[in-house]
Amino acid sequence: MADSFPFPYNYPDMRFATWNVNGIRAVLGKGFEESFRALDADIFALNETKWSNDAEDSFPVHFPGYSLAFTNSKTRKGYSGVAVFYKRQPLSIHYGLEEGKYDEEGRVITLDYDDFYFVAAYVPNSGEGLKRLPFRLEYERDLSAYLQDLNAKKPVVYCGDLNVAHNPIDLKNPKANEGNAGYTAEERNALSGLLAKGFIDAYRYLYPEKVEYSWWSYRFHAREHNAGWRIDYFLISDRLKDRLKETTIHTTITGSDHCPVSMEIDLDA
């Protein structure tokens, strides 16, 4: 079906990055700006910015050569939030899912380009005692429908903190965490279901057996002992897989309890 779409790309490799900064103000002064420049992404998504001011020029950091789109929680200050720095101007920018759903929590930004959609998200955490699991699963259903609709039109690059370790290889202690937020059967099945509908996990596609993590608890010296979880992803339309060049989890970059993840695709192949 979607495989029949042409690829009118006329530009070379693109580099994408995503990073849960766990508060943009908190990460500033911890090497964030240097790391941002070193990653040199064409499009760079930040998750969990916790930025409350929605004034257009209020965001506390800007970079020459980049434009910025950001969204935040309208219902709770200092909560959630997504920002996207981009070099190439999109045709349009959309906030939330269909009809802006979930934008009240500042969860999703979509950049629409001639050749692809870029979707940056901070997926809801199911929370202590799984109190938000029903909300999370509703979000997953709506997200899947949204991404499938986009994918029927042109390829999709979807990324962010998806708040789920998909398989046992994706976290240090899978047995001890069974049923905990981020490793419930329901959350893992939701990701499996999305992948079955025309998407691939870029990192796992390239590295089916590699063990690396993108998040470590601040407790118990988890990062020092590499007791982490891989919960930050790039999911891409299946028809882009032969153009995928690299996906890197930048475990040595600090400043947050997450590290950045980058991806390179040759869109001029």
Q: Are 21 and 46 in contact (CB under 8 A)?
A: yes
Q: What stretches of 6-76 show up as alpha helix (H) in DSSP?
A: 24-27, 32-39
Amino acid at 129: G
CB count within 10 Å of CB 156 equals: 25
Place of tokens 């981020």: 182
Q: What φ, ψ does residue 168 adopt, rounded to 5°?
A: -55, -30
Distances (CA, A) of 262 to 93, 106, 108: 22, 22, 18
* Positive/negative CA dihedral, 231, 242, 150, 47: positive
Is 161 known to be catalytic? yes
* The dihedral formed by the CA atoms of 106, 111, 117 and 121, expressed in degrees to the nearest 10: -20
Contacts of 115 (CB under 8 A, 6+ apart): 7, 8, 9, 154, 155, 267
The label of the residue with tokens 């600090």 reads 254
- Residue among 102, 122, 139, 203 flagged as catalytic: 122
Instruction: Answer yes or no: 142 catalytic.
Output: no
- Burial annotation 28-63 (CB, 10 A radius, 16+ → b, else e): eeeebeebbeebebbbbbbbbbbbeeeeeeebeeee
Catalytic residue among 86, 103, 117, 161: 161
| Residues noted as catalytic | 122, 161
